[in-house]
Amino acid sequence: MKIFCLGAAGKISRESVLDLLQSDKPTRVTIGDTDEARGREVVAWLADDRVDFAQADVFQTDQTADLMRDYDLVMDGTPISINHESTLCIARAGVHGVNLNGTGPEFAFHDAFV
């Protein structure tokens, strides 16, 4: 399973990725974040050959959706304040997504996912 982890340079996503990697199910985990230096630090900290980095900016909807398109799942750990933008990227990519902070605004995108 290929998993794209948005906002994974942050603490919640980083720990979630660490948990994911305890399983042999993920074949590729991409740390997606706007901050390349912090994202690459997370990749180094995880020290797992299945993990790589991609610069992703949810305000660049089409480009970020293109990055996600070939993944099985997007794990969204971006700040609550940009849930609208991150959820829109996931919907446009046409992949399954899980929001780690689950505040509810993503329900407005129900029709985009069905």
Which tens digit of pLDDT belongs to each residue from 51-84?
999 999 999 999 999 999 999 999 999 988 888 8
For domain 2-105, give the CATH number.
3.40.50.720
pLDDT confidence of residue 74: 97
For the chain, percent of residues with pLDDT exceeding 90: 72
CB 53 within 8 A of CB 69: no
Lookup result for tokens 């982890």: 5
Distance between CA atoms of 8 and 4, rounded to whole angstroms? 9
pLDDT confidence of residue 65: 98
Angle between helices 83-93 and 61-68 (to 10 degrees): 50
Angle at 101 between CA 64 and CA 42, to 5 degrees: 60
User: Residue 107 above 80 pLDDT?
Assistant: no
pLDDT confidence of residue 29: 97
Name the pTM for this structure: 0.88
Encoding tokens for residue 10? 């942050």
pLDDT confidence of residue 37: 95
Distance between CA atoms of 70 and 77, rounded to whole angstroms? 19
What residue ranges do the domains of the chain occupy? 2-105
